[in-house]
A and B are shown apart, each in its own frame.
Chain A
Amino acid sequence: RTVEPLEYYRRFLKENCRPDGRELGEFRTTTVNIGKCSITTADGSALVKLGNTTVICGVKAELAAPAVDSANKGYIVPNVELPSLCAERFRSGPPGEEAQAASQFIADVIENSQMIVKEDLCIANGKLAWVLYCDIICLDYDGNLLDASVFALLAALKNVQLPLVTINEETGLSEVNLKQKNPLIIRKHPVATSFAIFDDTLLIVDPTAEEEDLATGTVTIVTDEEGRLCSVHKPGGSPLTGAKLQDCITRAITRHKEVKKLIDKVIKSLTTK
């Protein structure tokens, strides 16, 4: 297994299964932990485990003046961090290419899916708006970072409660009412599904770190609940035919339904507690 990892994998793939016992189209067990159990100082937080890959997301809301050219829009700033404790190949220091590319990807997903409409974050036109700093930190990297991050972000945002802010007309200062909290308005629920391509033909779902290293390419598809594609991310790698891409999309839509059910179940259990 350590000397000829590719051959070892090929033998399993011929039998249409993988070394950890999964089928080619099967995901690892997903567990999600939302709310006060994760980060108490954040306004919203969630911890997601996709097999061994552990990702935690904390959302902090702060006030700022909106930009001059978009006076009625707030900001969402996602930041993905891959600290050196999560995998031996990441060193400490400025964010590496993978972390930056992941941050850009998450920002694109939020923008494309219109998950949070920036106009909802505005409190007073041109004067005050919310800024949501979303910090996504990977605690254990075992492949499929993008799926887990998108999931953690979604779960954390659902948990965020924003206090009501009013602007005092006379003084022009803002007053924060911590007692009255409203949940964030989330319009769409995007879910990411990642595939790894082997030898130009085989597609496997939810790759582990080992599988990602051996794969010749990766594809990530983000769908929302109406079956619309929010993002297709295929950074190079082996060429795929249109039909194969279509297979991935169908699988991604099925996965979306499973994940949505899981999130709804967890949220319901939180609110009834």
Chain B
Amino acid sequence: PGDTSVLAGLYGPAEAKVSKELPDRAALEVLLRPKVGLPGVLERSREQLLRQTCEAVVLGVLHPRTAISLVLQVLSDAGSLLSCCLNAACMALLDAGLPLTALFCGVTCALQPDGTILLDPTARQEQEARAILTFAIASSERKVLMATTKGSCSVEEMQQCLAAAQRAATTIFQFYRNSVRRRYSK
């Protein structure tokens, strides 16, 4: 959203290396490349978050002993990077036609010092915020697939952010539907 853009490329299911293959399901691999510099510890933890989120929705058991690689390249970062990556990953999975149990979308909420909740913050708003919460919401019953927080907040504030994120998820899923419709109705 806004000026943040992430390019996602999905390869698979392809043949996996013997050391990496799992006997009963597909092995998912996520690579996140920042715009500047080499991937560091922060990218690693983000890759782990994305990987486990995708593993929960992708039906890996249909493609055992294969590897699915997802490569994300950050083109520009103007806030809400993690949820942008999540959305890019989900659309890539959709575009590749992989079997999924549910769709997911990423929503970032920023808690400002005066208590107001802001969805999809820009980089400036993220810096000023007291806490930033990122959720991955699944399309089935709006359950929480992934949650990460930065900064501290009270329990009630977290629940409010979660409710706001679930409402926003509906808008994002509508956007997914429109994009897919446009792509396939050519």
Binding site for B on A (CB under 8 A): 97-98, 100-101, 103-105, 107-108, 111-114, 216-217, 219, 224, 227-242, 245-246, 249
Contact = CB atoms under 8 A, between A and B. Distances in A.
Contact of B48 (A111, A235, A239, A242): A235
Given A231-B152, A232-B147, A239-B56, 8 more contacts: A97-B44, A97-B48, A228-B155, A230-B152, A231-B150, A236-B54, A239-B102, A241-B144
Given A229-B149, A231-B149, A239-B138, A101 B45 contact: yes
Contacts of A236: 49-56, 136, 145-146
Given A100-B45, A104-B44, A229-B155, A245 B162 contact: yes
B69 to A, nearest CB: 15
Interface string B161-180: 01100100000000000000
Contact of A242 (B51, B133, B153, B163): B163
Interface string B99-124: 00010000000000000000000000
B71 interface: no
A175 B170 CA distance: 61
B150 A112 contact: yes
B153 A228 contact: yes
- The winner among B44, B49, B52, B133 for most chain A CB atoms within 10 A is B44
B158 interface: yes
A230 B49 CA distance: 18
Nearest to B50: A236
Contacts of A224: 152
Interface string B30-56: 000000000001101101111111111
List of 4 A-B pairs having minimum Cβ-Cβ separation, nearest first: A236-B52, A239-B143, A236-B53, A104-B45
Contacts of B53: 235-236
Interface residues of B toward A: which range? 35 or more
A113 B163 contact: no
Which of the listed residues A111, A230, A233, A236 has the most CB atoms from chain B within 10 Å of its own CB? A236
Interface of B: 41-42, 44-45, 47-56, 102, 131, 133, 136, 138, 140-141, 143-155, 158-159, 162-163, 166
B149 A232 contact: yes
- The A interface, classified by DSSP as helix, strand, loop or mixed, is mixed
A160 B94 CA distance: 52
B83 to A, nearest CB: 14
Contacts of A242: 144, 159, 162-163, 166
Contacts of A234: 144-148
Given A97-B44, A104-B41, A217-B56, A239 B145 contact: yes
A98 B102 CA distance: 26
Contact of A238 (B50, B56, B133): B56
Contacts of A111: 150
Nearest to A103: B41
B96 to A, nearest CB: 19
A37 B102 CA distance: 52
B154 A229 contact: yes
A219 B145 CA distance: 10
A201 to B, nearest CB: 12
B152 A112 contact: yes
20 contacts: A97-B48, A101-B44, A101-B45, A104-B41, A107-B41, A108-B150, A224-B152, A228-B154, A231-B150, A235-B146, A236-B54, A236-B145, A237-B52, A237-B56, A239-B56, A239-B140, A239-B143, A242-B144, A245-B144, A246-B159
A248 B110 CA distance: 22
B153 A229 contact: yes
Nearest to B138: A239
A111 B151 CA distance: 7
Contacts of A230: 149, 152
B158 to A, nearest CB: 6
A113 B56 contact: no
Given A239-B138, A239-B143, A113 B152 contact: yes
B165 to A, nearest CB: 10
